[in-house]
Amino acid sequence: MPSGSEQTGNYDVVIIGGGVSGMYAVHHFREMGLSVRAYDGASDVGGTWWYNRYPGARVDGPGSPYYCFTFSDDLMEEWDWDETQSEGKDVLAYLEYVASKFDLRKDIQFETWVEDVEYDEATQRWTIGTNRGDRVTARFVICASGALSTQNMPNYEGIQDFAGEVYHTGNWPREEVSFEGKRVAVMGTGSSGIQAIPEIAKIADHVTVLQRTAQFAFPAGNRSLTEEDRQNARKAWEETKAMMVAHPGGFPHKGNELAALDFTEEERQAHFEKLWKIGSFHFFLNGYNDVATSEEANASMSNFVRGKIREIVKDPETADKLMPDHYVMTKRPILENGYWHAYNRDNVELVDLREDGIERFTENSVVTATSGEHPIDMLVLATGFDAISGTLLKLNPKGRGGVSLKDRWTERFHNFMGMTIKDFPNLFMIHGPGSPGVFYNMPLGAERQMGWIGEFIQFLEKNGHGAAEPTAESEEAWGNEVQGIANATLFPKTDSWWTGANVEGKPRYFSAYLGGGIYYMRIADIAARDYDGYTFEPTK
Ligand code: NA7
């Protein structure tokens, strides 16, 4: 245990996490007049952006300036974004600026891991213990611990014996990592691997890409923002915010009425061609709205991207290995900045692990079944996360009667509205399973969930309720609603971190609320009906 501050104290709200959601939680609950204390394992604010400092890390959604907080118009006025797909370091600089402007750091304790979260029925308070020996209590706990924060580590024979440098993209060192003159293996071709590979290839002697699943990736279409772009975004900010709130994904977009099935295949391919040139999320925002539900529409988009891969990647054998065979969009859509072109470099080699699996690692190489020994100096693990539920389970709160979340969540992540759990009164999840989470513009989603929780807390105080938790029936109905929406789409048909398939032993089902904006109507409606679905206990 590190030597520590060993604080004690009683707070209204304890917040776990100092990333985008945790930062907003500190601000929001403080504004409500509540006493708050937040904890984060990192040395400063930023969460995901603090940890994921790998080369090539960028916003990979509709991008700047709309991946941002909306609660303060000053921020929009004051902050100058340089590019549409901002680099990780720029997002971090923005978050540091927000922390300073709103003096958030004074209520966040860094380099501190929460290890115990335990409910005491007698006092209706949670006790929170940390690795530094702190022991504080709180009436409310906010788990803003990140949907993508527990790294997924591969477990190949001999991997521990590899004596070279090893880095996970999700926990990248603060110090400069040099690729100069090195032979680097990158394992994983999700968003992180696909962003990192072209950057590493520019410097390293040799890059061996260890690919388990070939992916669809779309041009990021990154461009510099001019002063005129920024001024226009500022002028339209009120309108844009309203548009974001109305959009199913929380994006600055009017919504998409186009269905692929209303067009001929020729027309569709011409439309995709146009979108490919623009890049960014236009493929999803302005593509066709039935790609995730209709096999025909999906095949049309998939074929287009496969054609593009063949067009860009010069070596046909490599292009063959890069052909994805799942439904496009049913794994997290990826934006690339030179990924496909990287395979035209002499120093990039692709190993298709489905055909040529890893047998073992040695001190200085990775050995695969058919191509044999690949000598390497560095291993970059872009192997993703135990997503959505992983970090919450690591916190393993103990609720009523000492019941542990690990015991409640063996087969399903039972919850109500993706925010609350039976037997865990007054504990709230941000971007948890059962919420839109990663399917929504995450800063905006965090603000909206926090707004709902704040009103719930006011309701509890006004009515003399000391504790509130959902009923088993409301959890079951919510779970069915989430599944009902997901099962009408192609998403559950594909192995992905959305379905938990990337982590051995994890329940395999699609746990996110795909209804997007409908989610916020649903939770507002539940609030309007005096929080129907909850049981309340008077303040003791
Ligand atoms: P992802 O999207 O989960 O990608 C992880 C990649 O690592 C993916 O290609 C995996 O293959 C691969 N992987 C995972 N475990 C292994 C093992 N054991 N062996 C070989 N390959 C493996 O994580 P990212 O960090 O790229 O992206 C996460 C999110 O961060 C992203 O969606 C953005 O929202 C930001 P698989 O596909 O599982 O077969």
Architecture of the domain spanning 8-45+104-150+386-538: 3-Layer(bba) Sandwich (3.50)
- For residue 212, the CA-to-ligand 1 centroid distance in Å is 9
- For residue 285, the CA-to-ligand 1 centroid distance in Å is 24
Write the residue with the smallest CA distance to atom 29 of ligand 1: 191
Alpha carbon separation from 346 to 36, 207, 314, 538 (Å, rounded): 54, 10, 11, 70
Please choose, from the candidates 18, 19, 21, the residue with its C-alpha nearest in 3D space to the C-alpha of residue 38. 18
Supply the pLDDT for residue 294.
98
- For residue 439, the CA-to-ligand 1 centroid distance in Å is 17
- For residue 164, the CA-to-ligand 1 centroid distance in Å is 22
Q: Which atom of ligand 1 is nearest to the CA of 438?
A: 34
Write the residue with the smallest CA distance to atom 28 of ligand 1: 384
pLDDT (tens digit per residue) in 67-91:
999 999 999 999 999 999 999 999 9
Supply the pLDDT for residue 63.
82
pLDDT of 1 over the 70 cut? no
pLDDT of 4 over the 80 cut? no
- For residue 382, the CA-to-ligand 1 centroid distance in Å is 6
Write the residue with the smallest CA distance to atom 16 of ligand 1: 383
Supply the pLDDT for residue 5.
58
pLDDT of 48 over the 60 cut? yes
Q: What percent of the chain has pLDDT over 70?
A: 99
- For residue 8, the CA-to-ligand 1 centroid distance in Å is 40
Supply the pLDDT for residue 282.
87
**Mean pLDDT, all residues of the chain:** 96
- For residue 232, the CA-to-ligand 1 centroid distance in Å is 37
Ligand 1: residues within 6 Å at CB? 60, 148, 152, 154, 169, 187-193, 210, 212-213, 332, 353, 382-384, 438, 497, 502
pLDDT (tens digit per residue) in 341-372:
999 999 999 999 999 999 999 999 999 999 99
Q: Which atom of ligand 1 is nearest to the CA of 383?
A: 7
The three-state secondary structure class of 148 is coil
If pLDDT is split at 50, 70 and 90, which confidence band does 196 have? very high
pLDDT (tens digit per residue) in 202-230:
999 999 999 999 999 999 999 999 999 99
**Ligand 1 probe mutation, 356, 502, 503, 504, most atoms within 8 A of CB:** 502
Amino acid code (one letter) for 208: T
Distance CA(122)–CA(107), nearest Å, equals 27
- For residue 451, the CA-to-ligand 1 centroid distance in Å is 32
If pLDDT is split at 50, 70 and 90, which confidence band does 394 have? very high
Distance CA(488)–CA(483), nearest Å, equals 9
Residues 155 and 177 sit within 8 Å (Cβ to Cβ): no
DSSP 289: T
- For residue 281, the CA-to-ligand 1 centroid distance in Å is 20
- Entry field: residues in the chain: 540
Distance CA(107)–CA(459), nearest Å, equals 25
Q: Which atom of ligand 1 is nearest to the CA of 193?
A: 26
- Lowest-confidence pick of 126-135, 141-150, 373-382, 507-516: 507-516
Write the residue with the smallest CA distance to atom 25 of ligand 1: 384
If pLDDT is split at 50, 70 and 90, which confidence band does 2 have? very low
From the number of C-beta atoms within 10 Å of its C-beta (0-12, 13-18, 19+), residue 21 rates as: buried
Amino acid code (one letter) for 143: C
Write the residue with the smallest CA distance to atom 12 of ligand 1: 188
**Ligand 1 probe mutation, 60, 192, 391, 496, most atoms within 8 A of CB:** 192
pLDDT (tens digit per residue) in 463-505:
999 999 999 999 999 999 999 999 999 999 999 999 999 999 9
Residues 294 and 260 sit within 8 Å (Cβ to Cβ): yes
**Ligand 1 probe mutation, 151, 157, 167, 191, most atoms within 8 A of CB:** 191
Q: Domain ranges in the chain? A: 8-45+104-150+386-538
Cβ neighbours for 274, distance < 8 A, ≥ 6 positions apart: none
Supply the pLDDT for residue 3.
44
Rounded to two decimals, the pTM is: 0.97
From the number of C-beta atoms within 10 Å of its C-beta (0-12, 13-18, 19+), residue 505 rates as: exposed
- For residue 52, the CA-to-ligand 1 centroid distance in Å is 14
Q: What percent of the chain has pLDDT over 90?
A: 95
If pLDDT is split at 50, 70 and 90, which confidence band does 280 have? confident
DSSP state string for 459-521: HHHHTTEEEEEE-HHHHHHHHHHHHHHHHTSSGGGS-STTTTTTSTTS--S--S-TTTHHHHH
Q: Which atom of ligand 1 is nearest to the CA of 154?
A: 18
- For residue 188, the CA-to-ligand 1 centroid distance in Å is 5
End-to-end CA distance of the chain: 35
- For residue 493, the CA-to-ligand 1 centroid distance in Å is 17
Cβ neighbours for 217, distance < 8 A, ≥ 6 positions apart: 194, 334, 335, 336, 339, 340
Token pair of 435 as six digits: 């919420």
